[in-house]
Chains A and B, each alone.
Chain A
Amino acid sequence: MKRKDLLGIRELACDEILEILDTAESMQELSSRPIKKVPTLRGKTIINLFFESSTRTRTSFEIAGKWLSADVVNISMSTSSVSKGETLIDTAKTLDSMSADCVVIRHASSGAPHTIARMTKARVINGGDGAHEHPTQALLDALTIRQRKGSLSGLKVAIVGDIAHSRVARSNIHLLTKFGSDVWACSAPTLMPVKMDELLTENQNRLHITRSMDEALDQADVIMMLRVQFERMNESFFPSVREYFRYYGLSRERASRGKSDAIIMHPGPINRGVEISSDVADGPYSVILDQVAAGLAVRMAILYLLLGV
């Protein structure tokens, strides 16, 4: 990969994305070997710098790095150490003095990985920043979709949930529209960001905004549900959990509005009964567990392409 960092999907070209997906596909067989290790990144130091807690993403990166024989270090920065005055600059300089080859950053502030990337020699991977982007999630979603549907083009993909605060939604919108699929973003009016229709994507005419879940799900090939954060209720984004599920939750009846072979996706962790009912989450069309496996492969591919050449 010619880039120093992987900070977002928006700036990636289609062939860069395909390189990651193809490499990930080749690396998937690692998980079925008796010895799940290759020496590719031996001697490389990868630091997981998580300012926001996240077990699954961090574990996924950790396993990916270890299977590639890298030395992986997890640093969980609680916000209290940040409020003690340690700034991002200090953190970046510390990384350089540790000769880190690569840093995976998850942060509650949009743009934090960009700030750190400017100040460190290490390759920076954005593990999710604020409401901005979560590129590895979109890439693993794309791999899952491609494996199930054979292609990333010409699909109808419905993304339902708290679009305003979702970096997963933004990254997926950038990626899927780049490849010529139509994305239907659906949420309650309070959870749809301002000027969403003008969101600068590669192909603006492929992004459709709607408040109607029925319209979004109608004949969809892929239904992607986003996690609802309970804090939103305290800020009056919607009145109650029950009301949310009634109008924007994925029930079996709603899911059947998609195509008969539509796949159900969710970045996890799921809130059963809030945005998705248990029977749909555990049903035959749910690919939620495949996403986790794809996540491992995609993260290995990215680490290899950034560090292994």
Chain B
Amino acid sequence: MTLKPNYQLMNADEMRGTLNRLADEILNAHSGRELVLVGIQRRGVPMAQRMAKTMADKANVHPQLGILDINLYRDDLTHAAVQPIVRRTELPPHIDDKEVILIDDVLFTGRTVGAALRALTDFGRMRAIQLAVFVDRGHRELPVEANFIGKTIPTKDNEVVEVRLTEIDGEDAIYVMEKA
């Protein structure tokens, strides 16, 4: 299956602006309380790291960071890579009673988030779990919605939303691709 680019949704500047806005929204909703930003492998991780830096720079807030790989919790229908690689999971200790913001690049069927919720329950009982995503592209298969959304766009079944981050892909951009 080959992908060809359909159009570019965001460039680097737009992405920076969006991430900053999301960080603000999260802070406004949670001022004063202990936050943990948990990035979902793979691209949720650098997103969480950037947001943490923004929060520290702009508001002197230092949320804890966590990393979550959901491959061990997938249900059969979760979209997975041909050879799903199990990556690191690292959560801060004493996560009970904290407010967790799950962070991912694209919200699609909702199954990744479903798996993330199952994973988090094995780590303890968090006070609250909320979700922040860069792009919501619709087509939900589970009753999952994000609390903080970068951009909502309608997409077709044969399209793929690719979020590229410098830390992993060498550039910052979001493309909507089409399956050839």
A residues apposed to B, CB below 8 Å: 19, 22-23, 26-27, 29, 33-35, 37-40, 68, 301, 304, 308-309
Interchain CA distance A27-B124 in the complex, whole Å = 18
Task: Collect the chain A residues with CB atoms within 8 Å of residue B118's CB.
Answer: 39
Q: Known: A38-B73, A40-B73. Contact between A304 and B124, CB under 8 A?
A: no
Asked if B84 is at the interface of the complex by the 8 Å CB criterion, the answer is: yes
Tell me if B72 and A40 are in contact (CB < 8 A): yes
Q: A308–B84 Cα gap in the complex (Å)?
A: 10
**Pair A27/B86 contact, Cβ less than 8 Å:** yes
Q: What are 15 A-to-B residue pairs whose CB atoms are below 8 Å? A: A22-B85, A23-B85, A23-B86, A26-B86, A26-B88, A29-B89, A34-B123, A37-B122, A38-B72, A38-B73, A40-B72, A40-B74, A301-B86, A308-B72, A309-B80
Task: Name the residue in B72, B83, B122 with the highest tally of chain A Cβ atoms < 10 Å from its Cβ.
Answer: B72
Is B90's CB under 8 angstroms from A39's CB?
no
B179 contacts A by Cβ under 8 Å: no
Residues of B within 8 A of A33 (CB): 122-123
Chain B residue with Cβ nearest A39: B73
Within 8 A of A (CB), among B58-72: 69, 71-72
Contact in complex: A35, B123 (CB < 8 Å): yes
Interface residues of B in 136-153 (CB under 8 A from A): none
A68 to chain B: closest CB distance in Å? 8
Complex: A301 Cα to B13 Cα, angstroms: 41
**Is A38 in contact with B122, judged by CB distance below 8 angstroms?**
yes
Inter-chain contacts of B123 with A (CB < 8 A): 33-35
Taking a contact as CB atoms under 8 Å apart, the answer to whether A304 and B90 are in contact is no
Interchain nearest-CB distance for A102 vs B (Å): 17
Q: How far is the CA of A34 from the CA of B94 in the complex (A)?
A: 11
The answer to whether B89 touches A26 (Cβ under 8 A) is: yes
